[in-house]
A = this chain, B = another copy of it.
Amino acid sequence: MSAQYPSILLENAVNEFAKLPGIGKKTALRLVLHLLRQNSVNVENFLSAIATLKHEVKYCSLCHNISDSEVCSICSDKTRDASLVCVVENVKEVMAIEGTMQFKGLYHVLGGIISPIDGIGPSDLEIDSLVERVKTGDIKEVILALSATMEGDTTNFYIYRKLQPYDVKVSIIARGVSIGDEIEYADEVTLGRSILNRTPFDETYRLTSK
């Protein structure tokens, strides 16, 4: 659509929406016109939910996950294993791992991964605070659960080196063929890695059947 907006106000709103990731001009227009059709209370609720989040968002002082309190509900849960810390990129990964119901330790949210191309270096991430947590000596194992990309690998290696002086086990989540994937279509690196890191069949069975 070679768009000629009939109103500057409309055009501004569409342009702002189109700055969001994955939202093009056409979708932005559809969303803006949808909001325009809603009553003022609904639009006010939409705007204030975002404004309130932006102004009042807090981060857990321990794991740096988004939280409504000084220490988040996961870190303050006494039934969880505080000796096990899973390092993740962001709140989305915390939610994804919590969704698996397979992890009962704590988290450490880096707030990103090392990515020179985006100008993100180690000092922009919560790596020093991870080292500080490990220094206290309560943590027995750090599990690296970052993306299986070049940036993720770089960050994994950086953290691994930073933690080497301390008495802590550093592990990484298993890389392998995704459940549901056909072997024929798995990429060679993944397939090779999943053969090298094969697990005893009975152990795997026990893990997935519970």
Contact = CB atoms under 8 A, between A and B. Distances in A.
10 contacts: A1-B95, A2-B99, A4-B98, A6-B60, A8-B68, A9-B49, A13-B53, A16-B49, A19-B42, A19-B46
A47 interface: yes
Interface stretch (A29-37, A129-137, A200-208): A29-37
A21 B31 contact: yes
Contact of A46 (B1, B16, B96): B16
A94 interface: yes
B9 A53 contact: yes
A15 interface: yes
Contacts of A99: 1-4
Q: Please state the number of chain copies in the assembly.
A: 2
A20 B9 contact: no
A152 to B, nearest CB: 18
A92 B57 contact: no
Size category of the binding interface on chain A? 35 or more
A32 B53 contact: yes
Contacts of A5: 95
Of A3, A7, A15, A20, which is in contact with the most chain B CB atoms at under 10 Å from its CB? A7
A79 B91 CA distance: 56
Contacts of A145: none
Interface in A25-77: 27, 29-36, 40, 42-43, 45-47, 49-54, 56-58, 60, 65-68, 72-74
Contacts of A7: 53, 57-58, 66-68
A35 to B, nearest CB: 6
A31 B20 contact: yes
